[in-house]
Amino acid sequence: MTGKPRRIEANLEYLRKLFIMPDSPDKFIEFGNELLEMIHDFFQEKGGIHSAITLPELSRIFDRTSVPEGPHLIKDVLGEIKSKVIDHSVKVGSPHYIGHMTSAIPYFMILLEMIIAALNQNQVKIETAKASSFVERELIAWMHRLVFCRTDRFYEKNIQNPRVALGNVTSDGTLANFTAFLVAREKAFPPDGDFPGLRVAGVGRALRHYGYTRGVVLVSARGHYSIRKAANLLGLGEENVITVPVDGQNRMDIKKLERRVRRLQEGRDGERSKIIAVVGIAGTTETGNIDDLEAVGGIAAEAGAHFHVDACWGGSALLVEEYRHLFRGIERADSVSIDAHKLLYCPMSMGVVLFRNERDLNTIRHSSRYIIRRNSVDTGRFTVEGSRPFASLKPWAALKIIGREGYGLLFRHAKETTDAFREMLETCGNFEILNHPELFILNYRFIPAEVRDRLGAWLDERAGAKERNRARELEGRIKKVNTIVNALNVKLHKALRTDDTTFVSRTTLESTRYRPQSIVVLRAVLINPLTDRTALDTVMATQNRLGLELWPEFRTAYVRMAGSEGGEA
């Protein structure tokens, strides 16, 4: 149904009925069926990934500046949702949509969302969340065990022990990371004599009491921006998130980390810095790589800093034996964050943050007189968030329905898809692969074969060049060609959006073989179990076709620049 929803007379009897489950299931099922049909249609529909509607057109559809006065029929509003919202939503579940971590979800998740809404539990307190509080704690214990592998006795004692919390379920990875840094900050500036601890006294007094001028967090250049947000919110300051360069595999450069820590400890930058946390990344957002967690953890321990592992992207791979070696050292972390809406294939959104020490969350424990009383068993005593949905039902059920073996098969498919796409791009010739992912994210760019070969030859020659002038000249040429190819890939990415039959994302990396020059790369996240070779073929063919169509626009600049050394571009 389309058109404007019909306004009806405001009437309390009608409104009260909206809150009561009908005696006969017919009415409920009638709307339910309509809704399920709408959802089903959305998945069946062919056509563009983003819908053809423009953003200005959308802003004209949603331009009502005041709240509706009267009630409207549910049926009409559902129709409006269909024509205005569903029809113009992004088909993130499409096998041709391989641009972001947001991907296809199993259909049973939609039904679980209905249960969550129907029960409407509020996880903040036991008075509004009975069995669901226990489900959440069980899920947290499962995830904790995957990461920290503590003893049977430890889990038996703590799984449902209301005096401690092994972790928190959060809205997302950003809040999971935030919670980890909040705890790290409290632990860095604990109560001491008449100093009541940072949470009471604030950052300024805490620094003065302990004789520091700032608190810092160290993370690699691939760190997610949520870490800077946390530093901002925690009053540490974004500039005090210190980024350590990465190696050619996009992993934190351990030597540089060691040097940075030493510099900080010796106060060589004129500051007295407290290292609050060192962060390892287990699945970098842009490139899908995992830091050497053993080494990063060792340095954090020596520095007396909290060791946090941001495993929002990759942490769920711990479910599968063949991936566990990549995470060696994660069990030494003080805290680990993992997103369920990434590799657990849950819908938006849910994160978890886990603490090795079951008492760590007590540093941020709070209470109130009307709920989360001091001696209550309420989950909300340990969380940053207040009211929270029963989101944990989704991963809890998914881990049963799919199981560790099932996730193993899904990740194997993701790995095979990543390898297959790499091979296809390499075979085509007009693409260059620019990363070596461990976890399903491929960075590459469109570059006509002859330009790619020319750049390769220049790179080789530069590496062996004896004359400094020749090396410098080659360096200049490489830079200029890359600048042209960067512009080409930005334009190609825009053309892909217009074409709208396939989708990959785009980022800029300083860590490719052209380092330190920043290179524009296309980014494919290859986790959708429905993405097969045929879909990959379409994605690649579209990019190749559009790239070749755009190339003449850039070729003149390339030929002018490369001159006689440009070859037959």
By C-beta, is 276 or 439 nearer to ligand PLP? 439
Cβ–Cβ under 8 Å, residues 541 and 532? no
Task: For ligand PLP, give the closer residue by CB, 313 or 554.
Answer: 313
Compute the least distance from the CB of residue 522 to ligand PLP, in Å: 17
The Cα-based distances of 353 to 147, 171, 299, 382 in angstroms read: 11, 11, 22, 12
Output 146 or 451, the one with its CB closest to ligand PLP: 146
Pairing relation of β-strands 335-339 and 306-310? Answer: parallel
Q: What angle do CA 372, 377, 380 make, to 5 degrees?
A: 45
Q: Do 295 and 265 contact (CB within 8 A), yes or no?
A: no
What CA–CA distances, in Å, run from 464 to 276, 366, 470, 495? Answer: 44, 63, 10, 39
H or E element at residue 48: none
Q: Which residues bind ligand PLP (CB under 6 A)?
A: 101, 172-174, 177, 224, 226, 281, 283, 285, 310, 312-313, 339, 349, 351
In whole angstroms, the minimum distance from the beta carbon of 553 to ligand PLP comes to: 33
Cβ at position 220, least distance to ligand PLP in Å = 11
Nearer residue to ligand PLP within complex by CB, 174 or 418: 174
Please state, in angstroms and rounded to a whole number, the distance separating the CA atoms of residues 198 and 188.
9
Count, in order, helices (H) and strands (E) of the chain: 19, 11
Tell me how far, at minimum, the Cβ of 310 lies from ligand PLP, in Å.
5
| H/E element, 347 | none
Q: How far is the CB of 212 from ligand PLP (least distance, A)?
A: 27
Closest chain position to ligand PLP (CB): 173
> Judged by CB, which is closer to ligand PLP: 300, or 474?
300
> Smallest gap, in angstroms, from Cβ of residue 342 to ligand PLP?
7
Helix (H) or strand (E) holding 46: none
When the beta carbons of 140 and 372 are compared against ligand PLP, the nearer one is: 140
Least distance in angstroms from the C-beta of 280 to ligand PLP: 11
Cβ-based nearer residue to ligand PLP, 243 or 349: 349
Q: How far apart are CA 146 and CA 163, in angstroms?
A: 22
Number of residues that make up the chain: 569
Comparing CB distances to ligand PLP, the nearer of 342 and 356 is 342
The angle formed by the CA atoms of residues 123, 125 and 126, to the nearest 5 degrees, is 100
C-alpha span between 475 and 514 (Å, rounded): 10
441 half-sphere exposure, CB direction, 13 A CA radius:
27
Distance of CA 80 to the CA centre of its chain: 31
Task: Tell the smallest beta-carbon distance from residue 338 to ligand PLP (Å).
Answer: 10
